[in-house]
Amino acid sequence: MRGVSSVSKTDRLNKTGSKEMFAKANTVIPGGVTANIKYFDPYPIFMKYANGSKLIDVDHMEYIDYSLCYGALITGHGHSRITETTTKYMQSIGTTIFGTPHELEITMAEKLIEHYPGIDLVRYTNSGLEATLLAIRFARAFTNKAKIAKFEGHYHGGHNQFLVSVNPAEEDAGDAKRPTTVPESGGILNEERENTIVLPFNDFPATENILREHADELAAIILEPVQGGFIPAEADFIHGLRALTKELNILLVFDEVKTGYRVGLGGAQKKYGVVPDLTALGKVIGGGFPVGALGGREDIMNLSAASRDSDVFTVGDRSTQQSDQVVFHSGTYNGHPIVLAAGLETIHMLEEDNTMNKLIANTNYLRESLENMYASYDVHMQTIGEGSIFNIIFSDQPVRNYRDMWQANTALRQAIDEQLLNLGIFLKPLNRYSMSIAHTAEDIEKTVSAHKQAIENVLAEQASLGKVAW
């Protein structure tokens, strides 16, 4: 079975409060949600409370949460140390934000430099999207070249340059060896599409052919070293890519927004032993607050070093004298002190003895338990991922890139996920699993039991319709 089956918008969830809130939201918010990723049929579930590994919705149902704000909450919801640290820090500084430089900007930068081999200097943003957007500006300024390459199936934030070929339909995607650049949104200009080259992930020979062809016009390549947070780059592929980009004078950008502090303290680059030129971070480093950071080589990052003559906001005859020689980067909330306090406390917790090892061990135990349970029903299921993030794929074929997912039984996965929402397991259908240090052995046991009930429910439903579930 290929592709996602059509899903009727009947009320399969039967959550009156969420249904009513969604109807009300639709009257004041386009589509009822403020981020498209939060929507799913027949309506998203509205939450009112969270603590640890649990969410409580407006209908008073409790869930074990494996979304964790799409991976940001590695310590779980409302961890006491995060709450206490941010509250005390805000009280101690007498404000919520200075609007000036402050000490935590230095402290966090030192910590990121300590953990990430590819980071010499750091600039803060307010999201991972902003970090990848800034990476483009640095790359073009440093190389004096215009085009950027990305990989099919990889997501780097919702800006035009990269909002192509994230989830292209099979009929639009083109040759596997030379993917078509497919826009994922309205409002993307032809020139933006033309300046973005799409590459095939985990296929080094095909990638090399495209890069050599466009070497003189490519400023950078950006990739998720673990695609979507769950499809790892193969070692030969990513090491080959590093060597080739150095040869061709193309910057290599790692988008570690998902993998940063989730596959290990030093992210995917530390795990692979590959040092990128620029690294985008987000999610975990904010401790649940909006955050982003771009770090990289000193000679690249210093292009943004500010001076009086490069400040576009300085009024006077010298205000733009050298502005075109400096990479502009600014933002009112960049390096927000409360955000950095929460992020630093998160990192301190992950640095403590055995915390990361235990988190990854619990993740692997959940993965193995689920695989064994589905195998007992003769269901072809595998979990793939790295560190504390993974996904469930209903297929017995290797998954190396976006196109391999076309062969997975996503209709079965959709049916299972809908059952799980009614059984107290929260995850947006078809999304990846993120673990936290708040998840317990009891949570894992309940999760496996819920999956067992879910597959039995799907089997019974299909049998009553005279169908086979797979």
179-229 pLDDT, tens digit per residue, is 999 999 999 998 888 999 999 999 999 999 999 999 999 999 999 999 999
Tell me what the mean pLDDT of segment 17-40 comes to. Answer: 93
pLDDT of 232 above 50: yes
What type of residue is 322?
Answer: Q
- Encoding tokens for residue 425? 């397991």
pLDDT at 352: 96
Is 222 exposed, middle or buried (CB count within 10 Å of its CB: 0-12, 13-18, 19+)? Answer: buried
Going by their DSSP bridges, the two strands 389-393 and 226-227 should be labelled as unpaired
Cite the active site residues: 155, 255, 283
SS3 2: coil
The yes-or-no verdict on residue 468 having pLDDT over 70 is no
**Residue entry with tokens 């999201």:** 127
Residue 310 has a pLDDT of 64
DSSP string, 25-77: HTTTSGGG-SSGGG--SS-PPPEEEEEBTEEEETT--EEEES-HHHHT-TT-B
Angle at alpha carbon of residue 193, lines to 159 and 277, rounded to 5°: 60
**Average predicted confidence (pLDDT) for the chain:** 93
* 340-360 pLDDT tens trace: 999 999 999 999 999 999 999
Q: What is the pLDDT of residue 184?
A: 93
Is the pLDDT at 8 greater than 60? The verdict is no
Average pLDDT score over residue span 282-300 = 98
Q: How confident is the model at residue 307 (pLDDT cuts 50, 70, 90)?
A: confident
What pLDDT, on a 0 to 100 scale, did the predictor assign at position 323?
Answer: 65
Helices and strands (H and E) in the chain: how many: 14, 18
> Where is average pLDDT lowest: 12-21, 219-228, 388-397?
12-21
Work out the number of other CB atoms within 10 angstroms of the CB of residue 43.
21
SS3 state at 465: coil
Res 47 pLDDT > 50: yes
- pLDDT at position 6, please? 34
Q: Which of these ranges, 8-17, 115-124, 213-222, has the smallest mean pLDDT?
A: 8-17
Q: b or e along 253-289 (b: 16 or more beta carbons within 10 Å of the residue's beta carbon)? A: bbbbbbbbbbbbbbbbbbbbebbbbbbbbbbbbbbbb
| Measured CA angle at 365 (ends 359, 366), to 5 deg | 95
pLDDT of residue 322: 60
Q: Residue 384: beta bridge partners?
A: 391
pLDDT higher than threshold 50 for residue 4: no
Distance CA 23, CA 18 (A): 9
CA distance linking residue 362 with residue 386, whole number of Å: 13
Residue pair 22/12 in contact (Cβ under 8 Å)? The answer is no
Q: Considering the entire predicted model, what is its pTM?
A: 0.94
Average pLDDT over residues 48-54: 98
Q: State residue 12's pLDDT score.
A: 76
Quote the pLDDT of residue 227. Answer: 97
Residue 3 has pLDDT above 50, yes or no: no
Output the pLDDT for position 7.
36
Cis? peptide before 42, omega within 30° of 0:
yes
Give me 12's structure tokens.
């399969």
Ordered structural domains, the chain, with CATH: 16-78+353-464 (3.90.1150.10), 80-351 (3.40.640.10)
Which three-class secondary structure state does DSSP give residue 49? strand
More confident residue, 89 or 467: 89
Per-residue pLDDT reduced to its tens digit, 406-434: 999 999 999 999 999 999 999 999 999 99
